[in-house]
Amino acid sequence: MRYLPIDKAVFIENRRRLAGALQPNSIAVFNSNDLMPTSADGNHSFIQQTDLFYLSGIDQEDSCLVICPDAKEEKHREVLFLRETNDQIALWEGQKYTKKEATAVAGIKTVYWNQEFDSIFRQLAFQSDHIYLNTNEHLRAPAAVETRDARFLKWCREAYPLHSYKRLAPIMHHLRAVKSPAEIELIKKAGRITGKTFRRLLGFIKPGVWEFEIEAEIYHEFLRSRSRGPAFETIVASGVDSCTLHYIRNNKQCRDGDLCLIDFGAEYANYAADVTRTVPVSGTFSERQKAVYNAVLTVQKAAINLLVPGKTLEDYHREVGGIMETELIGLRLLDPEQVKQQSKADPLYKKYFPHGTSHHLGLDVHDYGDKYRPFEAGMVLTCEPGIYIRDENIGIRIENDILITADGPVDLTADIPREAQEIEDLMNQ
């Protein structure tokens, strides 16, 4: 892997916490992601299923983790199943994990090759009353492609129809929402790579540059910093497309007078940063652009201070909406009298700020987290207010990654320039 080794104690502790959440006499199964095909004999780059990585650190396709805390034989309480490597595979694809290497990464002593799965799992299933299976229960998850976990669920229920079946997703969503110190350091590392990249962009962006050239600079700095690449599809949106929330075409030329909104984040060891900055292509904001920019920055600074234990995501966003209303009135985009009479269910600020303020961040960019669960110390959330005025070609979003602590919010991306004057100074050096 490109990233530096992670202490296996992280994964050992994660498995201990999972085992403690299972009912007695249970077995839990986690499958890797598939290698996704392109066409002919091609494949996309492999990205690991994040629950499996969280519990094992194993970053390879055709992998499976079985946890059976009450197994009769101690060696079968944690078991890894891997694709058996050989000289032919090593020649064509490169070295895969040996059993010894997998143990060193995961801290799991018992490692079998995949062809032994059926017989070992049969023994453990017959010792267990409950089988916990994994499904993707993210509210916005697409379901167009059948995952390895989904295929295993069908097979398992047919092979073992009389067992009690349980869901792993609620447990994983609860565990992963609060980050360990080691996880926070990995997110910070992804943020530092992203910050270094942004400083590079400030010396590169100018009239005539193409959006995809900016994206290429991002890829270059990410890759040379031990990142696999972007943690999500990079947005480089200039001109009117700065008002398109998920613009990923990145195929226009940046013009003098345009704003350029860049929503990007490095991946490091499968952990994500997620940062947005908006810059003037010419190197200097117009008076109107700067007024809108400073309004967004004012909202963001206030919103960060509200990220404290005890709030729910819905309550938090409602409070931020009130702050945004004040700024939009100051920009003459909202009429104060109309605001007084607005519908609470459909506030007027949503015309210019149509998305949420925050989402959980971690192994997934939109990481696990129940919107009804109050914030807790150790959670990491983005803070990303924006104002989008399409008829003025002004779209501005500012996004930082925030750690919630008992002593107040900590900005993990605080060193990434965001003041309008600092951005102008760096662009005009």
Which of the residues are catalytic?
41, 246, 263, 274, 355, 359, 366, 384, 388, 397, 399
3-class secondary-structure state, position 301:
helix
Alpha helices in 74-224 (DSSP H): 87-93, 99-106, 117-126, 148-159, 169-177, 181-202, 211-223
Would you say how long the chain is, in residues? 429
Give CA–CA dist 67/63, Å, rounded: 14
* Alpha carbon 56 to its chain's center: 18
- Which of 140, 139, 122 lies closest to 131, judged by CA? 122
- Which of 241, 288, 227, 278 lies closest to 384, judged by CA? 278
Please check whether residue 239 is in contact with residue 395, taking contact to mean a CB–CB distance below 8 angstroms: no
Please check whether residue 106 is in contact with residue 53, taking contact to mean a CB–CB distance below 8 angstroms: no
3-class secondary-structure state, position 158:
helix
Q: Count other C-beta atoms under 10 Å from residue 135's C-beta.
A: 14
Pairing of strands 394-397, 400-403: unpaired
- Which of 15, 46, 49, 55 lies closest to 31, judged by CA? 49
